Amino acid sequence: MKNYMENYIVNTFDGFSFGPDYKQIFQNKPVTTLMHEEIIRMRHNGLITDDDLNTVKFIFNFRFVTPEIVASYLNSQETVENIKSRLDKLVKNRILNKFMLSMLPIDSIPPDALCIYCLDLGGKTLLSQYSTCDVANWTTAKTNWSSENIGYDLVTVKFYMQLMNTCGAKVEYFKSNPEYRINKNVVIPSFEFCLIIGGLRKYFIGEIVRDFDIPIGFRTKSEKLESILCTKAWMKYFHDANGNVPVLFLIGENDDVALETARIMSTVSGIAAFRMTTDERINRNLNEGGAFLKYNKEKDCLQAIKASTFDPD
């Protein structure tokens, strides 16, 4: 049984599967203007460090993070509490913002609440001056998201970290929430990435599935994924894939959700090249036996496999 609180998500909450009834309570209230020169001065004087800048880039790319995720990204010897203090400094200077997830209105974030960090207006200024990130169309409205989607993004960045830890040298790029346009329809899976294997590019698409997605929500997702992967539409986005259709990874909330997801995928879609994993299984090295699962339709079960694709060079 998950440790849902009656009113808000606490920092001991297990995993990133948040129900639909939570609202974001932000530390910083929205602003439309800021002293941009002050942000530039702070960077020029070293008050915003290289690690700070890299963290802001990281958050821009993945939208939402926790202090634990940032600590893993920086590969820092600092404690998570120290990382949290550094993030809070950036929040104070409006470079980042942070929020909690609550069912009820609340005036301030309690000490035991799960804090999730995102970009603030000063972060846009910082990245526009000191990075190649395309922030031209970014607004603070992009930090307002449903609790379910926030959970998807946090699982995405968690998977990315394990991918980099397992075989980072093979990763050419990783993109969260890519957009594919098929006629008038837009398909947005959770992530996409490319590995260089034997000198060739191999592409992967990922989708995250929660218990509350089953069955209706995921049926809709599977139909959209089929419109990409079971037609020639994928070639528009992966023209250098040497004729190989991208492999689909599905990350279930747990083994039960993964099994039901595989059942739906094998019956309502024509996608054959898919593999399953779960929130718990992606805590392992991704090339470890059992990190991924294959669906056996005849036996209606998931079988543990070893994904040698993720072996480090």
What residue ranges do the domains of the chain occupy?
Answer: 23-144, 149-310
CB 170 within 8 A of CB 287: no
How far apart, in Å, are the Cα atoms of 42 and each of 54, 62, 126, 135, 169?
A: 15, 24, 10, 20, 33
Give the per-residue pLDDT at 6.
63
Choose the CATH number for 23-144 among 1.10.10.10, 3.40.50.720, 3.30.750.24, 3.20.20.70. Answer: 1.10.10.10
Query: For the chain, where are the alpha helices, taking DSSP H only?
Result: 36-44, 50-62, 67-74, 80-92, 121-130, 147-167, 216-229, 255-268
CATH topology of domain 149-310: Trna Endonuclease; Chain: A, domain 1 (3.40.1350)
Each residue of 187-221: pLDDT tens digit?
999 999 999 999 999 999 999 999 999 999 999 99
Query: For 230-282, where are the alpha helices, taking DSSP H only?
Result: 255-268
SS3 content of the chain, % helix, strand, coil (to 5): 40, 20, 40
Confidence tier at 173 by pLDDT (50, 70, 90): very high
β-pairing, 191-197 vs 171-176, is antiparallel
Give the per-residue pLDDT at 75.
87
Q: Is the pLDDT of residue 268 over 50?
A: yes
Q: Cα–Cα distance between 202 and 204 in angstroms, integer? A: 7
| Mean pLDDT of the 12-37 span | 88
Q: Is the pLDDT of residue 4 over 70?
A: no
Q: Is the pLDDT of residue 5 over 60?
A: no
Confidence tier at 2 by pLDDT (50, 70, 90): very low
Is-same-fold flag (23-144; 149-310)? Answer: no
Chain mean pLDDT for the chain:
93
CB 206 within 8 A of CB 248: yes
Q: Is the pLDDT of residue 1 over 50?
A: no
Question: What is the value of pTM for the model shown?
Answer: 0.93
Find the largest Cα–Cα distance for the chain.
64
Percent of the chain with pLDDT over 90: 85
Q: Cα–Cα distance between 114 and 116 in angstroms, integer? A: 7
312 burial type by CB count under 10 A (0-12 exposed, 13-18 middle, 19+ buried): exposed
Collect contacts of 20-23 with beta carbons under 8 A, ≥24 apart: 20/146, 20/147, 20/148, 20/212, 21/103, 21/147, 22/101, 22/102, 22/103, 22/147, 23/101, 23/102, 23/103, 23/105, 23/147
